[in-house]
Amino acid sequence: MFKAVNEKTDEELVLLALKDQDYFLLLVRRYEEKLTRYISRISNLDKDEIEDVLQDIFIKVYKNLNAFDTSLKFSSWIYRISHNEVISNYRKFKNKAKVISFDTDGEFIKNIADELDIEKEFNLEDLKKNISLILNKMDLRYREVLILRFMEGNNYNEISDILKKPEGTVATLLNRAKKQFSQIIEDQNIKI
């Protein structure tokens, strides 16, 4: 029985959670790690602060379950709420000096290197070493769109749903993000 519930899609769980609060627990479990990682990547909040923000996010999600549009993916919708919550807390963390540490996997490095066409010219291991430095120097909006695309693995349509921007604007943001990424490599004289 429990296994069967676990196999249900997010969208099915939303419908069940509307009838019985306990089903919401499954959704929280599915997303708490993913969202913790996402928030830590786009903000410099510490562990406790992230936990507070996450609580607010999940309570907001629960309150607004009836507003969930089934034509969207639930993951896009919950990431959107998380994005909005982080942005509304932006003042809290924008002046904090803490540097975000990006526990990047090889996949991200490979993806971004492919996109920037730097794989042949540079050593990917060196890029991996410097990735935190580069991403920390990026504007939040550019950093976030790179994270959504290459770390969270969202496509343009999903990013459009998360950021509530037209797909064309998402493409422009990604292009600018890539340019800024390359510019920082150049400006910082990072040898990769």
Partner 1 sequence: MKNLSQKIIEKIKQEGVEPTPKWEFVLKNSFFWGAFVLAVIIGGLTFSIILHTLLNNDWDLYMQLSGGLTKFIIVTLPYFWLVFLGLFTIIAYINVKNTKKAYKYNLQMIIGGVILISFLLGITFYNLGVAASLDRNLIQKLPPRYHSMVDANINLWQRPEEGFLSGSVESLDEYVLKLKDQNGDIWEIILSEDILEIVPDFILEDSSKIKIRGKIIDDNCLDKCFYADMVRPFDNPRDMLKKGVIEKDILEKMNLHMQKARPMMQGRILRDLVL
Residues near partner 1 (CB under 8 A) are 18, 21-22, 24-25, 28-29, 32, 36, 47, 51, 54-55, 58-59, 62-67, 69, 160, 164-169
Residue 65 or 190 with smaller CB distance to partner 1: 65
Residue 57 or 134 with smaller CB distance to partner 1: 57
Residue 123 or 175 with smaller CB distance to partner 1: 175
Q: Determine the distance from the C-alpha atom of residue 33 to the mean position of all C-alpha atoms in its chain, rounded to a whole number.
A: 12
Residue 4 or 67 with smaller CB distance to partner 1: 67
Q: Please, what is the minimum distance in Å from the beta carbon of residue 20 to partner 1?
A: 12
Q: Please, what is the minimum distance in Å from the beta carbon of residue 55 to partner 1?
A: 6
Spatial separation of the C-alpha atoms in residues 170 and 77, rounded to whole Å:
16
Spatial separation of the C-alpha atoms in residues 32 and 184, rounded to whole Å:
32
Structure tokens at 100: 């975000």
Spatial separation of the C-alpha atoms in residues 169 and 53, rounded to whole Å:
27
H or E segment and range at residue 157: helix 156-163
- Cβ contact 142:176 at 8 Å: yes
User: Quick one: DSSP state of residue 58?
Assistant: H
Q: Please, what is the minimum distance in Å from the beta carbon of residue 23 to partner 1?
A: 10
Phi and psi angles of residue 138, each rounded to the nearest 5 degrees, phi first: -80, 155
- Cβ contact 146:181 at 8 Å: yes
Q: Please, what is the minimum distance in Å from the beta carbon of residue 29 to partner 1?
A: 5
Residue 35 or 127 with smaller CB distance to partner 1: 35
Spatial separation of the C-alpha atoms in residues 88 and 158, rounded to whole Å:
21
Q: Please, what is the minimum distance in Å from the beta carbon of residue 186 to partner 1?
A: 31
